[in-house]
Structure 1
Amino acid sequence: TLVAGISLDADHETTPLLAPGPARLAVSLLEAIDEMDYLSAPDSRRVALIALESGRISRARELLLQSHASVPGDDTTLRILEHTAILSGDVYDRRRWLDERLSLNPDEPQLLRAHAHLLATMGDEDAHKDIMRLEALGLDTPADRSLLSGLRQRAGARSEALEAIESALEEDPTRSDDWCARGEILFALEEKGKALESVDKCLEIDRQNGMAWAIRAKVLSESHGRSSEALKAAIHAVALDAGGTELVMLKSDLLEASGELVKSDESLAKSLAKHSSDGHLRAAIASRRLLEGRHTEAWDVLNSAPEGVIHPDLHVVEGRMHLANADRLRDGTGDTDKNLLVDAAESFEAALEMDRESGIAWLGLARVQRLLGKSVEAVETLTRARRLLPDEDPSAAAESALLCLDKGDLEGATQHIDAASIRGEGAIVSYVRGNIAANQGHLKSAQSHFDEAINIDPTHVRARLNRASIHMASGNAQGALDDANVLLELAPGLALAKVRRAEANMMLTNWDSAKADLEQIVEAAPHHHHALTQLAACYISMERPEKAEAPLNEALRLAPEHTDAWHQRGLLYLDWGREDAAMNDFEAAVRCDGNHLDARLHIAAIHHEAGRFVEASGAWKGVLAIEPEHAVARRRREECDMALATM
């Protein structure tokens, strides 16, 4: 009760804690009572503050640890514990409490700054990560950037390091590790010829130096005509467990380049079996399988990880797998697509919980947010990704271009994809350029870009899907059908490709084939209002109109703003002679889409045939507002004017 007057959020900076009289009494009791383990966490902290104020640091720390054990995640307790560590001059204890505070608030600028300076004074190379996080948040200051510059200089002062190692080699040229270290520094300095000479010197002394073999493999893999030597070096390095994931993947690449595809796969499998707990390696192999379009094998690699194996890259690859899965199972309704993206978002967020500086995880999350229509969040996330990804990586610029496209900003999209292309052309660059051209109405240019994307990556689902749409818009139904069939070979569950195939078959008057696909889509996704509408169109064209009304009614129940469903049902009612009902549906179509030319033509024709020339004249004007050179509308408008003039 004596300390109950101290505020719950009081800390070492709160003064005074108590009035002079109660404060003296509290200190007296503190000296008299040794055991206080019966105190609650808040009271332990209050008494600790009394101890701290009176200079009893050890006693204060004991009470704070007692409070922390009861309530581990309390930032106020952690903040005071950090202060006691500062007073004691214990940098390791201070780091412990700062680490815990950062785990609670990973984006708190002052904590990041304090952590960076502490690690810098301790000589810990991880200090730069805190400044990088501040940079990613857009909160770095000139002082922060100065600290980062110093840290980088300290970590990358290769010229000074080279002088020191060469001085050591002059004194004792028999030290193989020094020759290897010299080669590593020279390789980092892009002095590849000298690096090769240095590691060869190392290998003359010690043939079992794995890092020397690794550097030799990397140098030779970039030298024209020396891939077989590079492969031999990579085999030695991997056998000696040197070079990590990079060398395992390089060995596989070199085997594949030499035509040994089976051995390439076996090499990865063998390394994974040997290092089954290496999350980074497992993620790299799964990513390779994903890029090769071998999705089942990629999942197998991820799912076979031993219990307890964790790595942010595993979550990133899992997120990319979920995105690829979403690409292959989309039906275009939005509902199905949203559900498919939830798992991807969770994977990227799990990666970021482990590593807040993972640029690729931020990029993946930005893509999910864009696909879910959360453009404001996507912009912020993408900004963070760009700050963390290497300058030469074009993926962030390409994603920025796609985000601009979604917002209708064609100029911004063009600027971003131009920036991406400077860093190298690829399937993604051609794909985005195709989307920009399509949005500008340049169908030939769009098709050309999609052709390029598919030539580079024949498994690019979205490029082929968009090319099918371009074929449809250009009247090339057979081209659309061919692309849809390839898509369904690549991704048998891609309902959107099945929709395109049905539409292409409808254009080719293959009604039975179209109907079969549409029925399968509706069975799998009863909420697919577009498929329901197209199914009704098939029934009408197959002269089975009695089966068309039910799917149209359901489509309109699901999506009252779906223009094509109103138009199709209007045509159905017109065919049945129910002109009033048809007129209502055509007018509803125009309310949904004022530029729906066919609906306006039917409205005008119905009024015209009924002799309602005032209404018909207005309706024909509506047609001409959309298509000023429409010959029938112009002629009928003149007929209305003549009829009205003689009335």
Structure 2
Amino acid sequence: MPRFATSTPITALAVHLLLFLGACSEGSSNGQAPPPKEDLEGARAAYQRGNAQVKEHLKTPDHATLRAAINSLEESVRLAPNEILHRLMAGRTQELALNSEAALAHYRVATGLGHEDPLVWRRMGTLALGLGDLDQARGCFERALSQQASDPELFFGYGCLLDLEGELEAASQAFNAAIAIRSTYDDAYFRLAKVLRGLGDEAGADAARAQFDHWNRVEQNLDDARRQVRLHPEDAQGVRAVGLYLFQLQRAEECTDWLQRAKKLLPRDATVLECLGRVQSGLGQIPAARANLELAVECAPGSVDPLRELAFVLAKEGDAEGALGRMAQALALAPGDADLHFQNGVLLMQLQRPDAALEAYALALVNDPDFIDAHLGQAEVHYGANRREEAIAAYRRVLAIDPSNAAATGSLNFILGEGK
């Protein structure tokens, strides 16, 4: 899971898209009267029954169970039409049954009652898009974007809408935003490739298509590994493969379960231990992450990766000297590795040592002068130290290498705008 000194400004991109296209949103009202008191008990009973039936259906998919759940939840909203939770559950269940119009109607009532969850607005946008109501889809997506800028599915849906409306440049920005949040998003790469071809960017389209092919292949390999483990539950290599494919796809919680299982079968597999430690670190399970990464270092003493990851975990624990010591060990093993010097710079920034970070980024650039993230790291240090001209120069170096770089473009425009 790569670390960046300066990440793509997703929030700024969401705002940019809305300003670029002109935001529109749907109104909501809160003026409806509460349901009759005598109906609430029956509504709750129907809701609880429907909720249990949905869980049963998800565990063992069955049309009859799903139909029974729909009937129960429709009864709950008939008895208590203004109960938001009942409306949401009824809408979600209608989605499971692919009844888009019914699902959208329930969500519309819930939002009209004042429910402002951006996930619901995103679902409404997706449903409206599938039904061909592009105006409603746009209103729903933009309502969600005004509240939430870290949902890859939201940017993907918005990109599909923009593509259908022929706004290809904005669509490419939306798909890139989805990918920046979830780098394994195969469908977003597929749609991005299509849009870029429409814009005449054949090289970009080919690169996006290659990413789609890669992640689609990982998904297929994961399915194959799961089938193998279903047939042979104690196959250590099969369990390991499932865990590692999930790690590649960044499905943290499920990945943790499978790698824990693999660890029991292969207790000194350094790759399993390292990946498990990295996932646990991302989930905030720092003591467990440290234990697994230290064991990975012990099992593979000449490997750079577990040392690097252990350094970041130690930094999270507040052990600055330990973190720097482990990173120094890694650098001693790979002194010419530009990315490792860059990661050292990121670590030093986390430890609030910007001058040392600047030196680390410079060493990365000695080994790879076109290393964009290292240039961005230098720009961040300079800007943080109020060295405005040096920051501008660093961002311009990035744009000389990659004129379409969103992080450099957004940050440079922001700095230049400050001086006006």
Q: TM-score, normalised by structure 2?
A: 0.43
Q: Relative contact order (alpha carbons < 8 A, sep ≥ 6): 1 or 2 greater?
A: 2
Q: TM-score, normalised by structure 1?
A: 0.30
